[in-house]
């Protein structure tokens, strides 16, 4: 009886294992690998725009649901977008998720530096102002606009990976002028983009 239970549990567990495409390429149809996934299958496209030059990368993988984020962050000189689609059936991440389209200014403004002498015109669904700083070797700060989903996603990601952080987002125009925080935002954003672009 015990042998039967062990065999049933082994085969039942194997049957329930989710299979996902996993690669970083131009199309999921060229992905030859799949893996057993304890989380969700994801299709992601991320863009990073720096100085007017835009880089885009698509990826298919197995990721924790907290990494299933769609939204934007805009610091003026640096803009990043992530578009994710998550699913929970075998090989369901077989579609190319388009990059988020360019958006027009929405009338909201956020501070882009410490004393708010520089501002950022928010675009599209960027309905929050965000403020962050990280001190790896020297202090680096980032202020600008973000979509609500990015603000919420950063909170979830820091909790999931047990990162000590304090994400501060606010709703009003130029509301990020006096927020004082201790946040590894650039590290988290970089990690999020790296996980989407290169894992």
d(CA 170, CA 181): 13
Alpha-carbon distances of 100 from 79, 116, 148, 175, rounded to whole Å = 12, 28, 15, 26
Contact call for residues 174 and 116 (beta carbons, < 8 A): yes
What was the pLDDT predicted at 25?
72
**Cross-strand pairs, 144:** 130
The pTM (predicted TM-score) of the whole model is 0.73
Each residue's pLDDT tens digit in the chain (199 positions)? 444 444 444 444 444 579 999 888 766 667 777 778 999 999 999 999 988 898 999 999 998 888 899 999 999 889 999 999 999 999 999 888 999 998 999 999 999 988 899 999 999 999 999 987 654 444 556 789 999 998 888 777 766 666 666 668 999 999 998 644 433 444 455 555 555 444 4
What per-residue confidence (pLDDT) applies to 47?
A: 94
Q: What's residue 165's pLDDT? A: 61
Contact indicator for 41, 91 with CB cutoff of 8 Å: yes
Nearest residue to 73 (alpha-carbon basis) of 91, 53, 46, 41: 46
pLDDT at 14: 45
Q: Which segments within 27-77 are labelled E, that is strand?
A: 34-37, 40-50, 53-63, 71-74
What single DSSP character describes residue 65? G
Q: What is the DSSP letter of 175?
A: T
Q: Which of 118, 109, 130 is nearest to 77 (CA)?
A: 118
Range list of H helices, the chain: 2-16, 148-160, 185-198
């Amino acid at each position: 009886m015990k042998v039967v239970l062990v065999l049933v549990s082994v085969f039942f567990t194997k049957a329930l294992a989710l299979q996902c495409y996993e690669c970083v390429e131009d199309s999921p149809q060229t992905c030859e690998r799949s893996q057993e996934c304890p989380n969700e299958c994801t299709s992601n496209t991320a863009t990073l725009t720096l100085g007017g030059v835009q880089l885009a990368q698509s990826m298919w993988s197995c990721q924790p649901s907290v990494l299933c984020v769609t939204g934007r962050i805009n610091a003026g000189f640096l803009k990043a977008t992530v578009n994710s689609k998550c699913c929970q059936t075998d090989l369901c991440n077989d579609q190319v998720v388009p990059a988020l389209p360019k958006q027009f200014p929405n009338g909201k403004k956020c501070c882009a530096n410490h004393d708010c002498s520089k501002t950022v015109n928010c675009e599209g669904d960027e309905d929050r102002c965000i403020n962050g700083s990280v001190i790896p070797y020297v202090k680096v700060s980032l202020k600008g606009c973000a979509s609500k989903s990015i603000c919420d996603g950063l909170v979830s990601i820091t909790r999931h990976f047990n990162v000590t952080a304090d994400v501060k987002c606010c709703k009003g125009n130029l509301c990020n002028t006096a927020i004082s925080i201790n946040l590894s935002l650039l590290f988290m954003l970089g990690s999020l983009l790296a996980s989407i672009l290169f894992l």
